[in-house]
Amino acid sequence: MYKSLLYPVASACRRLLPLDGMWKFKFDKKSEGNKEGWNTGLSDYDLVPVPSSFADLFTDKDSREFCGDFWYETEFVAPSEWKDRELVVRFGSVTHRATVYINGEEVTSHVGGFLPFNADITGKVKFDEMNKLVVKANNELSEKMIPCGKTSVRSDGTKYAQAYFDFFNYSGIHRSVKLMALPKLSITDYETTYEIKDDRSAIVNYNVCVEDFASDNSANYEVKVCLKDKEGNVVASSDGEKGKLKVENANLWNVRAAYLYTIVIDLVDKEGNKIDEYVDKIGIRTFEIKDGHFLLNGKPVYLRGFGKHEDSDIRGRGLDLATIKRDYECMKWIGSNCFRTSHYPYAEEMYRMADEEGFLIIDETPAVGMFESLMNAVDAASGSKAVVHWFEKETTPELLEHHKECIKDMIKRDKNHPSVIAWSLLNEPETIYECAVPYFEAVFECARQEDPQKRPRTFALVINSTPDNCKCWHLCDFVSLNRYYGWYVMGGYNIVSAEQAFRAEMDKWAKIRGDKPFIFTEYGADTSGELHKLPSVMWSQEYQDEYYDMNHSVFDSYPWVQGELVWNFADFQTGEGIIRMNGNKKGIFTRNRQPKSAAYVLKHRWEELPLDYKK
Ligand code: BDP
């Protein structure tokens, strides 16, 4: 079974066939697809683009809100030159579950909507002929997987997704699909760690994984690794699966001043013929927390930027390279240097771009919605059932296993990006009962084990996880607060009281924080892109400006606040509800990526703040 999460690239020894395009598509309203043989091909289908969410392609509400199984189909021809290769279909992501069939035969299943997986179709392909690739996907939510939610049923029997999170449950084949033709003896993974020396040289420690997928293949090979600079000159090389590359006068990867080296990993046989080649870009840098500061290459850096979403008009959460480009242009224009991949790992193209542009990423798992309060409040009020804390539910063990799988895959996929500086393991979970602690310990330990670079770990604390009652914050290497003083708490004219309450909370953290740095992973106010009002009212652009001014004056009073990521980069789609007007409007940019007036407030502030602010 081909298990590798390396980004798919073509090379001297690797071939790629992109399968993106219009695919056949069909909703399986009665869950009859398997019984009716849809795995062998679809009839009476629609055509939809891959990659894309399906929700906003159609004009009827039943399609947008569809919850259950839905099927995709495409065809491809594999040339007979590929007969001796491993053939693997690589899905960037399918939200949330997928079963893959090739020529009618089931080849693999995968759970988790935001990370890649492979379908190994070696030995199942007809060469030089049409092959049918069918995917059965499913977007039901449950409390046993992340993101958490449940699947409910309307009075007319139709299923619908009840998300425990504040973004639309976009679903579909969200990222690119590629057929990879790989050598039988393949490079399946590699990792790097860095040491920067006083004499400006650097050591790149590397470790390469090789797998032999043909049992008759003699494992007589050698690994050769070299590093090339921007001009293509080889600056270091080494032999062996593990080794050290010494780079003299190393060009370091820095914030908004990236320098990338090309790493070329070759497998060669005894005669020196190439068996496999994998090529990637890496950045030489260190990142650590010391004395309450984030140190990039030993120098303090103050984080400024956003919590984001993968969200755009029509394509929903589907990969859109134009949106990625525009987002980076907006993030550069405003003077930011960091973002969190709230609330799930993003498409790999986003990280590759951050590597190039010198942005810092806090990489987040899809662990969102682990909070029972709202549902419990209703239940408790009606006396209908005893309140069960989130982490003592009977679903917890299964949830934890899935969560750990996601952490492992996220770190496996993203560990070599210089842009990734930290892991965010959960967003706004329930932390005020002791039963949360073993769960948190397990996920924090899992991340530490998996990451060769031992990046700092955190989770985003909801407003009721306070210095008085949070049982889990001490596990964080740095603490991330989501705070809405002046919006959900004491908003509008009462913002004065909000500031006082905010400072009171910060004073309490100050007493117990030790030397952990704190950042804000969320603060924001919903704002209509059209509404101006003098004097301000909540939802007006004027109020969003005042809200940010108040929050920044609090941040600036505490030297141990080492970063500010506003919520949100852009307006985004959510489910329907009385506190959402066609989505969440806390964007600094509209959903179309045009600035609201708060964008100028932030631009002014962030361009003025030195990189090592509060050093
Ligand atoms: C936080 C969540 C985020 C929401 C945000 C909001 O982490 O997903 O979108 O609040 O209410 O609770 O805008």
| 398 CA distance to ligand 1 middle (Å) | 25
CATH 3.20.20.80 fits 295-608, yes or no: yes
| pLDDT for the residue 371 | 86
- State which ligand 1 atom lies nearest to the alpha carbon of 526: 13
80 CB-contact burial (10 Å; exposed 0-12 / middle 13-18 / buried 19+): exposed
**Do the beta carbons of residue 302 and residue 563 sit within 8 Å?**
yes
Query: Mean pLDDT throughout 535-539?
Result: 98
Class level of CATH domain 15-182: mainly beta
Q: Cα-atom radius of gyration of the chain, to the nearest Å?
A: 25
Ligand 1 proximal residues by C-beta, below 6 Å:
165-166, 343, 427-428, 482, 522, 567, 584, 586
CATH architecture of 185-285: Sandwich (2.60)
Q: Percent of the chain beyond pLDDT 90?
A: 95
| 166 CA distance to ligand 1 middle (Å) | 6
- Check pLDDT > 60 for residue 238: yes
Query: Mean pLDDT throughout 419-432?
Result: 97
Determine which one of 277, 428, 430, 546 is catalytic.
Answer: 428
Predicted confidence band of residue 458 (pLDDT cuts 50, 70, 90): very high
| pLDDT for the residue 384 | 53
| 248 CA distance to ligand 1 middle (Å) | 46
522 is catalytic: yes
Three-class SS state of 494: helix
pTM: 0.97
| 610 CA distance to ligand 1 middle (Å) | 29
Domain ranges of the chain: 15-182, 185-285, 295-608
- State which ligand 1 atom lies nearest to the alpha carbon of 428: 7
105 is catalytic: no
Query: Mean pLDDT throughout 287-298?
Result: 98
Determine which one of 86, 522, 546, 564 is catalytic.
Answer: 522
- Check pLDDT > 80 for residue 374: no
| pLDDT for the residue 213 | 87
The set of residues, in sequence order, having a beta carbon less than 8 Å from that of 225 and lying 6+ positions away, is 206, 208, 237, 238, 239, 243, 245, 263, 264, 265, 266
- Check pLDDT > 90 for residue 564: yes
| pLDDT for the residue 386 | 55
Query: Mean pLDDT throughout 290-296?
Result: 97
Predicted confidence band of residue 388 (pLDDT cuts 50, 70, 90): confident
Predicted confidence band of residue 217 (pLDDT cuts 50, 70, 90): low
- Check pLDDT > 60 for residue 380: no
- Check pLDDT > 80 for residue 83: yes
Substitution candidate for ligand 1 out of 527, 567, 568 with most atoms within 8 A of CB: 567
| pLDDT for the residue 220 | 83
Q: What share of the chain is helix, strand, coil (3-state, %, to 5)?
A: 20, 35, 45
Strands 222-228 and 202-212: unpaired
- Check pLDDT > 70 for residue 218: no
Query: What is the rounded average pLDDT for all residues in the chain?
Result: 96
| pLDDT for the residue 377 | 47
Lowest-confidence pick of 191-200, 343-352, 376-385, 544-553 = 376-385
Tell me 213's DSSP state. -
Digit-coded pLDDT (tens) for 306-329: 999 999 999 999 999 999 999 999
- State which ligand 1 atom lies nearest to the alpha carbon of 579: 11
Query: Mean pLDDT throughout 25-50?
Result: 98
Q: Which of 486, 459, 499, 513 is nearest to 598 (CA)?
A: 486
| pLDDT for the residue 166 | 96
Residue carrying structure tokens 């049918």: 132
| pLDDT for the residue 340 | 98
Token duo for residue 403: 């969560």
